[in-house]
Amino acid sequence: MEEHQLVIILDFGGQYSHLIARRVRELGVYCEVKSYRTPPDVLRALRPAGMILTGGPNSVYEDGAPRCPAEVLRLGCPVLGICYGAQLMAYLAGGEVALAPRGEFGGVTLERTGPETALLAGVPQSSTGWMSHTDYIAAPPAGFAVVVRTDSCPCASMANPEAGLYAVQFHPEVQHTQCGSAILENFLRRVCGCAGDWEMGGYVEQTVAALREKIGNRKVICALSGGVDSTVAAVMVHRAVGRQLTCIFVDHGLLRKDEGDQVEKICAETFDMNFIRVNAQDEFLEKLRGELEPEQKRRIIGETFIRVFERESRKLGKVGFLVQGTIYPDVIESGAGDSAVIKSHHNVGALPDVVDFDEILEPLRMLFKDEVRRAGLELGIPAALVWRQPFPGPGLAVRILGEITPEKIALLQEADAIFREEVAAAGLAREISQYFAVLTDARSVGVMGDGRTYDAVVALRAVTTSDFMTADFVPLPYEVLGKVSSRIVNEVPGVNRVVYDVTAKPPGTIEWL
């Protein structure tokens, strides 16, 4: 990407930091999230076109509050402060920040006042915004003009165009702010001068070229789970170095119906990869025999995966690189404003300890999940795989309550496949963030034909979410639920009742285990 297109998101631990970055990229501008601890010299060397200071849970005047040096406001690029970032800008520039007489949370009416600014171009005199603050800017710094107010907040936005400094107390990145997208676009294009032409095709080409140069003639190995992230990472590396890459796919037998075969077909046939499929279903089932506790199931699956992968990888000898499907949210420590080490994951976290390699390759580490999918399409991966539903690492083990048996796995695979088929047939697949079936450990009395049954209960789950931190259940049409229920009880032996989960997150989680 071109240097002038880079915008830095300086993270102070706000819950919406990732969302700000996603909104910026959606507007065609490449951005990266950096910790507020990043030295000004390092930031200056990146030659950013602009910088955004995020929200955060602290008060700027408290001891130990996350603060960057005032020099950050003088790096030669425009700066936009959001919520805590707005208060910090005021504090660093010599203004006054204090506990508000009354906090503001939720929707408010924003009233424009003061001089016209490029940040608010096209924004109406009155609009709605989303607030979440108990502190406020009691006195703007010298050189700043108040340009937006609310009934409870005398400085909802301030600006010093000559210095390139802008601040908003509200959150333009959330959908609840009526003109939020326009405000962000104004900052990026009108204030920072960004062209807004960053796109995934160019990013993929540049990443592939960089991988080719870095890898050279060395061998690469990838632990392929079959999920979207690891598959896109593998295809991207394969595009760069071809059959220097070997993918090891450990099939633990807990995938969705026919999924293992689909992964093998795409990798081995469509892309002609060096592909090793290890059918380890019996080994995993034996290890899981009699286990009821969810966390123990996860631990057993994780450890067994590592042991199986270790056995196979040793056959290849020393390799130059290990590929991992780490994506951007994995490398940003949640709510702390710092980069974190690679997330602990059943098929990733411990692999560096058991594989003989020189370096880790993470070709997706700067991409969000939706961007990974777009990269997959650019690479030619079939849309059916790219848009597959999120799937937990331990697979169906976290969707089978009680002991895991071959019979239960087969039952749930069929029920889940029917649910996914009917959601797709109703044209709802892309409108739902995640949907799946769960095999409960309950049994119920039913009537089939002239006899009574005592069979399993299957629960259906469908949620909508933007970040998977919170989620709401989807009010699926009754005709869809009715058809799914009818098909499951008639086509899946051993099931006589289907229920629908209408729990939000919180208080529930998306997965049952």
- Go through the chain and tell me how many residues it has: 513
Q: What is the residue-wise DSSP string for 195-211?
A: -----HHHHHHHHHHHH
| Residue whose pair of structure tokens reads 């848009």 in the numeric block | 387
255 Cβ contact partners less than 8 Å away, ≥ 6 residues apart: 226, 391, 395, 396
In the residue annotation, 83 being an active-site residue is answered as yes
Distance CA 335, CA 500 (A): 33
In the residue annotation, 252 being an active-site residue is answered as no
Residue 90: per-residue pLDDT: 96
Distance CA 467, CA 22 (A): 11
Residue 232: per-residue pLDDT: 94
User: pLDDT tens, position by position, for the chain (513 residues)?
Assistant: 344 489 999 999 877 888 898 899 999 999 988 989 999 999 999 999 999 999 888 888 988 889 999 999 999 999 999 999 999 999 999 999 998 877 778 889 999 998 899 999 999 999 999 988 888 999 999 999 999 999 889 999 999 999 999 999 999 998 889 999 999 999 999 999 999 888 888 889 989 999 999 999 999 999 888 788 989 999 999 999 999 999 999 999 999 999 899 889 988 889 999 999 999 999 999 999 999 998 899 999 989 988 998 899 888 888 899 998 888 877 664 434 443 333 333 334 455 566 667 888 999 988 888 889 999 999 999 888 888 888 888 889 999 999 999 999 999 999 999 999 999 999 999 899 999 999 999 999 988 776 788 899 999 999 998 666 678 999 999 999 999 999 999 999 999 999 999 999 889 888 998
* Sign of the CA dihedral running 480, 483, 487, 488: positive
In the residue annotation, 403 being an active-site residue is answered as no
Retrieve residue 482's tokens. Answer: 């009715």
Distance CA 84, CA 67 (A): 10
CA nearest neighbour of 55 among 29, 24, 17, 28: 17
Half-sphere exposure of 252 (CA within 13 A, CB side): 33
Query: Pick the catalytic residue: 31, 68, 77, 83?
Result: 83
Q: What is the residue-wise DSSP string for 467-491?
A: SSSSBEE----HHHHHHHHHHHHHH
Distance CA 89, CA 76 (A): 15
Q: What is the residue-wise DSSP string for 222-241?
A: EEE-SSHHHHHHHHHHHHHH
**Of all helices (H) and strands (E), which one includes residue 137?**
strand 126-139
Q: Is the peptide bond before 39 cis (omega within 30 degrees of 0)?
A: no
Residue 355: per-residue pLDDT: 66
Distance CA 328, CA 346 (A): 18
Are 58 and 65 within 8 A, CB to CB?
A: yes
Retrieve residue 128's tokens. Answer: 């709605």
Query: Pick the catalytic residue: 18, 171, 238, 346?
Result: 171
**Of all helices (H) and strands (E), which one includes residue 376?**
helix 369-378
Question: DSSP character for 352?
Answer: G
Residue 354: per-residue pLDDT: 60
Are 117 and 166 within 8 A, CB to CB?
A: yes
Half-sphere exposure of 392 (CA within 13 A, CB side): 21
Query: Pick the catalytic residue: 104, 173, 259, 312?
Result: 173
Distance CA 324, CA 302 (A): 16
Residue 198: per-residue pLDDT: 87
**CA torsion, points 499, 503, 504, 505, in degrees to nearest 10?**
-100
Q: Is the peptide bond before 507 cis (omega within 30 degrees of 0)?
A: yes
**CA torsion, points 225, 383, 478, 510, in degrees to nearest 10?**
30
